[in-house]
Amino acid sequence: MINKKNSLNKEVINEKMTLAEVVKEYPQTIPFLNDFHLDYCCGGHEAIDKTAKELGLDAKQLVENLNKIANKPMIGDVDRVKDIERFEKLSVDEMIDDIQETHHVYERELMDKIEDSLNKILLVHYPHHGQELTKLHHLYAQLKADLEEHFAKEERLTFPLMHKNPIPSVDDIKRVQQLEEEHSKAGDLIKEIQELTNNFTLPDDACRTYQYTFETMEALFNDIFIHIFKENSVLFPEYYEMKDGCKKSCRA
């Protein structure tokens, strides 16, 4: 158990923790992880030292930076922290409804806006940025289609099944695990887009619509990261635990 009552500069995060565990205990680290493109949702279940080695980062420095953030009084991004803390206190049924009412609705709105503006800049900026924008258009279309199909599967099949079967069977768990696999596929597409755009770096001749497209896409991805984190690291593990009849009330 991690002690969340920190004293200043106390080491509450270590190299053997996963980034998913870090975010679950200290959601205020999310902006830092996003800024450095560190995956805490789809690929957030490996130890920090292993993740750092794979990315060529200094694990000790990474942990030190995370501890500084975890020990600081929360000033900015309080709403995001409170949202995750609120979410963790919900029942499985409440988590399911909350995800649909917040992330699914918001992400659908953003996806439609991005599709429209991306088509505009593809046409206007094709002479100078046609190769990059064509690839971006293709990758985004694939991501949007995958997410729309994923949301439909969750809303019409898997989530109703979870509501209906609060104590899951082995088959129920396998169906939910399929969603985690789909999350990984979406995460891979997002990484491709981030690499293609150099993490949304605008060209010198970018117009306001170009800027809007990149800003909105980045906002979409940041929401998807939190969305997937909530499902992979909070909702689904909570549901899996129900298989043994152990609810929150019986956990230490």
Reading the chain (252 residues) residue by residue, the pLDDT tens digits are 344 444 445 788 899 999 988 888 888 888 888 888 888 887 778 899 988 888 899 999 999 999 988 887 665 566 777 888 899 999 999 999 999 999 999 999 999 999 999 999 999 999 999 999 999 999 999 999 999 999 999 999 999 999 999 999 999 999 999 999 999 999 999 999 999 999 999 999 999 999 999 999 999 999 999 999 999 999 999 999 987 654 443 333
Which residue range(s) make up the domain with 217?
88-250
In a domain, 77, yes or no: yes
Look at residue 18 and give its three-state secondary structure.
Answer: strand
- 54 with 154, same domain? no
- 73 with 147, same domain? no
Q: Which of 81, 106, 124 finishes a domain?
A: 81
In a domain, 28, yes or no: yes
Tokens of 199: 């993490």
DSSP 101-148: IIIIHHHHHHHHHHHHHHHHHHHHSHHHHHHHHHHHHHHHHHHHHHHH
In a domain, 3, yes or no: no
- 65 with 142, same domain? no
- 130 with 215, same domain? yes
In a domain, 7, yes or no: no
Nearest to 124 by CA among 207, 211, 218: 207
- 208 with 187, same domain? yes
- Is the distance from CB of 148 to CB of 3 less than 8 angstroms? no
Cα–Cα distances (Å) from 6 to 29, 45, 106, 192, in that order, read 15, 24, 34, 38
Residues 6+ apart with CB under 8 A from 166: 92, 93, 242
Q: Which of 54, 81, 108 finishes a domain?
A: 81
- 230 with 123, same domain? yes
- 159 with 209, same domain? yes
Residues 6+ apart with CB under 8 A from 137: 118, 119, 122
Q: Which of 81, 98, 121 finishes a domain?
A: 81
Domains contained in the chain, number? 2
- 160 with 177, same domain? yes
Contacts 24+ apart (CB under 8 A), 16-19: 16/47, 16/48, 16/49, 17/47, 17/48, 18/44, 18/45, 18/46, 18/47, 18/48, 18/51, 19/44, 19/48, 19/51
Question: What's this model's pTM, rounded to 2 decimal places?
Answer: 0.81
- 125 with 163, same domain? yes
